[in-house]
């Protein structure tokens, strides 16, 4: 078995957990392929394993021999991992070295359990849909897809913008707002939820369109099938606006033509058998919590 290890960086007080992970993998004779920048930042951890550890720098270095990529960090690290995996169908196992860890739901204290699950195949793979961005100008060219959401937002202190929105070419609405979110089911528990959008189940096959600070009392989030192509025309006093695709950001002309659709491939997220979407809602977002119960 071969696993890749990715992280944006490990805090000094987390190096012991990283060392423990490497020991666990070595004990099970699992070959490791480590992200180059991670290995360079922590030579004191990886130097004893130089002979057995390979290095990767990006998507092209990951091949069919990789059985899983272990993401060490928070949910943002999982989003990074998705852009590394792209369409190669390599499962992502997220270990929470961050804070909330909604996607990276496996705790640091479960390292041994997670490795054992990988070795014995006692885990569940959840298929998550992605959102794809098409545009008539260069934007997010290396990875024009996201696991969470695509966002159009006014720039800085500019006044609100008008976002004319179409579903399969048919006019839906003009949003007078600070911006607009198009979320996948996975992203529905993120920015979408913070702006009053609904939580939808990962397997629901839908997008959620949620306005950001709308200037209309009768405008509400809407759930649509993810077979829909969503397109936009933007008006505003400023000449530029911001587009976000997960954690990536681009400043573009308001003249850009944008269309959103479901990506042709999916991302596979590994979870332990005892975990579920509902249990994560309860534990991470205190769903239904009432101190009287």
Q: Which domain CATH number covers 55?
A: 3.40.50.10330
Is residue 154 left, alpha or beta, with left meaning phi > 0 and alpha meaning psi from -120 to 50? beta
From the list 61, 75, 134, 178, the catalytic residue is: 75
Q: How many Å apart are CA 258 and CA 218, to the nearest integer?
A: 25
What is the pLDDT at residue 24? 87
Same domain, 122 and 190: no
pLDDT tens readout for residues 21-55 = 888 888 888 888 989 888 888 777 776 555 557 88
Q: What is the mean pLDDT of the chain?
A: 89
Phi and psi dihedrals of 107, rounded to 5? -75, 160
- Residue 290 maps to a domain: no
160 shares a domain with 231: yes
Q: Give residue-wise pLDDT tens across range 171-223.
A: 999 999 999 999 999 999 999 999 999 999 999 999 999 999 999 888 999 99
> What percentage of the chain has pLDDT greater than the value 70?
96
Same domain, 107 and 34: yes
Range of the domain at 174: 131-262
Which CATH number characterizes residue 173's domain? 2.60.200.30
| Residue 75 appears among annotated catalytic residues | yes
DSSP string for residues in 73-106 = ESHHHHHHHHHHHTTS---EEEEE-SSS-SSS-E
276 and 258 fall within a common domain:
no
Q: Write the pLDDT tens digit of every residue in 78-102.
A: 999 999 999 999 999 998 886 767 7
SS3 187: helix
- In this predicted model, which residue has the larger pLDDT, 3 or 275? 3
Co-location of 270 and 125 in the same domain: yes
pTM value is 0.90
Q: What is the reported pLDDT for 82?
A: 94
């Amino acid at each position: 078995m071969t696993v890749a290890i990715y992280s944006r960086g490990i805090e000094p007080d987390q190096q012991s957990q990283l060392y423990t992970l490497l020991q666990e993998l070595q004990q099970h004779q699992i070959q490791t392929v480590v992200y180059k920048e991670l290995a360079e930042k922590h030579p004191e951890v990886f130097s004893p394993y130089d002979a057995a550890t390979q290095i990767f720098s990006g998507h092209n270095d990951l091949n069919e021999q990789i059985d899983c990529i272990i993401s060490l960090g928070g949910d943002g690290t999982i989003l990074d991992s998705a852009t590394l995996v792209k369409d190669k169908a390599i499962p992502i196992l997220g270990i929470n070295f961050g804070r909330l860890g909604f996607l990276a739901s496996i705790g640091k204290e479960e390292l041994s359990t997670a490795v054992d699950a990988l070795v014995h195949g006692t885990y569940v793979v959840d298929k998550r849909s992605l959102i794809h961005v098409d545009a008539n100008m260069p934007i997010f060219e290396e990875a024009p897809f996201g696991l969470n959401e695509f966002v159009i937002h006014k720039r800085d202190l500019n006044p609100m913008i008008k976002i004319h929105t179409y579903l399969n070419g048919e006019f839906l609405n003009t949003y007078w707002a600070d911006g607009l979110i198009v979320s996948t089911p996975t992203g529905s528990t993120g920015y979408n939820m913070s702006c009053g959008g609904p939580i939808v189940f990962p397997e629901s096959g839908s997008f959620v369109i949620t306005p950001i600070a709308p200037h209309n009392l009768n405008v509400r989030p809407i759930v649509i099938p993810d077979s829909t192509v969503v397109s936009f025309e933007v008006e505003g006093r400023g000449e530029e606006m911001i587009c976000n695709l997960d954690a990536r950001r681009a400043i573009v002309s308001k003249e850009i033509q944008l269309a959103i659709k479901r990506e042709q491939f999916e991302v596979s997220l590994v979870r332990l058998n005892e975990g579920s979407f509902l249990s994560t809602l309860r534990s991470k977002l205190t769903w239904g919590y009432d101190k009287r119960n």
